[in-house]
Structure 1
């Protein structure tokens, strides 16, 4: 369980680039104050770095880094945790829809690097995509229906 310092440094550099892209997106897309968004972005990127380090420390545990990040953020924001007020104060200043721009950009680059593999899959990708879209739509609709019904809105 030894950490690769060069890998962590490269991940940190990538996080800094992503952080800059998020700050620009926050300002341009949502008109949010950069100075108010920076502490929240640093918190979010810190959690992401922690998740990557945890994933590297425990390679035998088949738990993705985004799940470690989600779990960490969930624990930090629980109402009974002493960190929740401060954590939510800063992360509320970040529009999380604005954080998707760099994520989607990197996903596009990743897919672009695998075009030959995608070409081999040909028409099967379309069927899988349609199934995923339909499943996501109906899954979201069913969950929304039950929540709205439970709250007495419908």
Structure 2
């Protein structure tokens, strides 16, 4: 159990570059202030860095760093967390849609690096993908339906 420092430093550099791209995209596309969003972007980069460290500390885990980021973000934003008010105040100034483009690009690159593994799965990967997409669609629809009913919107 040790942290791979060269890889961590390279990944932090990539996170910083991506953060700058997100802020620029936000400014150009949405006319949002870069200065207002910098603290939120720093927080997002710190959470992602913590997730990368956790991934290095548990190398045998099949849980990806992206999963750790999601869990950490969830924990930091929970109402019972004393940090949640400031966490939400700052990260709300970073537009979620501005983050999705580089995120999807990196996900595509990640999958592209494993193309040989995907070829070995042949037609099975298509079947699994369809099942996953359908399941996620209905799960999201069910959650949305439940939340909207609880709020009294439908």
TM-score by shorter chain over 0.5:
yes
Give the distance between the partners of 1:143 and 1:2, measured in 2 at CA: 39
Change (3 A) 1:61 1:29: same
Residue matched to 2:125: 125
Cα distance per residue 1:112-135 (max 9 Å; x no partner) = 344444445444433333222222
Aligned positions, number: 154
1:70 aligns with 2:70: yes
For the residue of structure 2 that corresponds to 1:98, the secondary structure is helix
Gaps of 5+ in 1: none
Q: Which residue of 1 aligns with 2:20?
A: 20
Give the distance between the partners of 1:69 and 1:91, measured in 2 at CA.
14
TM-score by length of 1: 0.84
Distance 1:53 1:116, change over 3 A: closer
> After alignment, is 130-139 or 59-68 more displaced?
59-68
| SS of residue paired to 1:97 | helix
C-alpha separation between the residues in 1 aligned to 2:73 and 2:35? 22
**Cα RMSD, aligned residues only:** 2.2
Deviation at 1:99, TM superposition (A): 0.5
Q: 1:86 to 1:64 in 2, by over 3 A?
A: same
Unaligned runs of 5+ in 2: none
Range moving further from structure 2, 18-27 or 70-79? 70-79
Name which of structure 1's ranges 117-126 and 37-46 shifts more when overlaid on structure 2: 117-126
Tell me the alpha carbon deviations over residues 66-99 of structure 1, each in whole angstroms, 9 at most, x when there is no partner: 2322232223222233312221111010111211
2:85 corresponds in structure 1 to 85
**Alignment correspondent of 2:152:** 152
- C-alpha displacement of 1:44: 0.3
Q: Hey, what's the Cα distance between the residues in 2 that align with 1:119 and 1:61?
A: 24
CA-CA distance at 1:52 after TM superposition: 0.7
